[in-house]
Amino acid sequence: MIIYPAIDVLDGRVVRLAKGDFDAVTDYGGDPVAAAEAWKAAGAEWLHLVDLSGARDGKRRQQDLVAAITATGLKVQTGGGVRSERDVEAILEAGASRVVVGSLAVSNPHTVIGWIGQYGAENLAAAFDIRLQDGIAYPTLKGWTEQAPRTLVELLADYKRAGLAHALVTDVDRDGMLQGPNFELYADLVTVKPDMNWQASGGVSCLDDVKALKSAGLGGVIIGRALFEGKVDLAEALSC
C-alpha cells in the first residue's frame, strides 16, 4: 500500500478544508514546497497535491508549483478542477506522474475513458467523492452539494472495460474530520473490484487506521490533516 501525504494548496498556502468547505479553512503555512520536502525527508515517495485554486477557478492553475514539487524527486499525483484535455496535458507537462479527475469522472465518464486511452491508465486517476444514502454510495457533484443519479457501483460499470487502474474514494462526511475512514465502504469496493488500485481518502486519524486500510487490501491511503497535526507520524506509518 502506498501512503500519499496530502498537501492542499489555496492561493499559494497549505490549507485543509473541512468537508470541502472553502469557508472552513485551516491554514498550515505558506510554503508548499517546504512541506513536500519535509514529507520526502520522512521517506515519502509520492505526494498527493490538491490544487484548490484550480478547483475554484480553472484559470488559476498552479503549474509552477507542480513543477517545483516534482523537482524535489517526489512523484506527484494532482488534481483540482480538471475540466479539459488541455488541463491534463498541462499537468503532465509540469512533471506530475498522475492526474486526478474528479467531477468530470462522474458527470462525463466517456470523456475520461477517452483520456485513459490517450494518456495511459497509470497517468490518470478518477476521484469519487461519495455520500451514503441508506448504506449505498452515491457520487456527489458541484462541491458536494448535489447527488449523482447513479450509484458508485453503477458508475464503475462504465469504466469496467476502459482500463481505469487508480481510483480515489472520499466519504465526504468524514473528510478532514479525523473521525476514522469508512472501513466498510472500502472493504466493499475491494470486493466489488479487487483489481483496482483503490485509494482511501478522508478521515485517517491514527496509525491503526493506516494498518486497518492495508489489511483491507487498499492500494493507497491519502493522509492530510492527521500528518500536519501530528496524529500520524509519516516515517512510522511508512515502516508499517
Which DSSP string corresponds to 38-51? HHHHTT-SEEEEEE
CB-based burial label for 51 (10 Å; 0-12, 13-18, 19+): buried
CATH number, domain containing residue 123: 3.20.20.70
Grid cell digits, residue 67: 513543477
Stretches in the chain below the pLDDT threshold 70: 18-25, 54, 56-61, 143-145, 174-178
In the prediction, which pLDDT does 143 show? 67
| Domain encompassing residue 155 | 2-239
State the pLDDT at residue 61.
Answer: 65
Contacts 24+ apart (CB under 8 A), 204-210: 204/178, 204/180, 204/232, 205/178, 205/179, 205/180, 205/231, 205/232, 206/180, 206/231, 206/232, 207/232, 207/233, 207/236, 207/237, 207/240, 209/180, 209/181, 210/3, 210/237, 210/240
Q: What's the domain count of the chain?
A: 1
State how far the Cα of 17 lies from the Cα of 27, in Å rounded to an integer.
9
pLDDT at 202: 84
Q: So what's the pLDDT on residue 213?
A: 96
Q: What is the pLDDT of residue 174?
A: 67
For residue 161, the model assigns a pLDDT of 82
Task: State the pLDDT at residue 28.
Answer: 78
Residues noted as catalytic: 8, 129
Residue 54, pLDDT score: 65
**Displacement of CA 93 from its chain's centroid (Å):** 20
